Amino acid sequence: MRIDPAGWPFVTGPLAPAAVLAATGRARGRRGLRLAAWPFALLSAYMALFFRDPQRRCDVEPAAPDDVLSPADGVVMVAGEPQEGVAPEGDWQQVSVFLSVVDVHVNRSPYHGEVVESSYRRGSFLAAYRKESAHRNERSELWLRDGDRTVVFRQIVGVLARRIVTRTGVGRRLATGERMGLMKFGSRMDVFVPRECTVLVGVGQRVRGGETVVARWPGTR
């Protein structure tokens, strides 16, 4: 199983005390020490699960040119009309995905094009499912442009997520579904598309990053 590089310190960290406790307990014949190693081993296993980075369809075949893919695994919180005070300036539709602590947290680009704007803002750590989290929480925002098409998306932290990793920037070209970062421990991602796009998901629907089509441009190309 592939693990995101940012996860290895979290995966290997608990293994050290687990190994010491297990070895000491075995050497001294103390079953209690061996049992005490299990929570650390289980924590390491959970971290491996959290930072897993599975292959998706977009990794082996290009997405359709008009498709906007989900940037993350999770459950759709908003689909269509944007939340008040959340969307960027302009006329947008919004798709928001809530990531639980058991979802894959590797983030992917929802569309292709050049990153023309990039910003990072510090903020609060409200629960990511709350509306206020979209404009009060710490977040990273990227604007993608391909010709006359623009898609905006945000990484937004939650109660447990305390760090955003964004592995791209202005001038970089991204493919639809390309890995571009991750968020640590529960969060949300917002995608904003123009009114001309058709939103194809509904609130409560489970989506998969790099696979589920959340919106589609009119087929004009």
Q: Just list the catalytic residues.
A: 187
Query: In terms of Cα–Cα distance, which of 40, 7, 5, 9 is closest to 22?
Result: 40
Are 7 and 47 within 8 A, CB to CB?
yes
Are 8 and 14 within 8 A, CB to CB?
no
Are 152 and 194 within 8 A, CB to CB?
no
Query: In terms of Cα–Cα distance, which of 71, 77, 102, 104 is closest to 191?
Result: 71
**DSSP designation for 172:** -
- In angstroms, the Cα distances linking 49 to 16, 36, 105, 130, 138 are 18, 21, 10, 25, 24
Maximum CA extent, the chain = 73
**Cα 12–Cα 17–Cα 19 angle in degrees, nearest 5:** 85
What are 133's two structure tokens? 């989290």
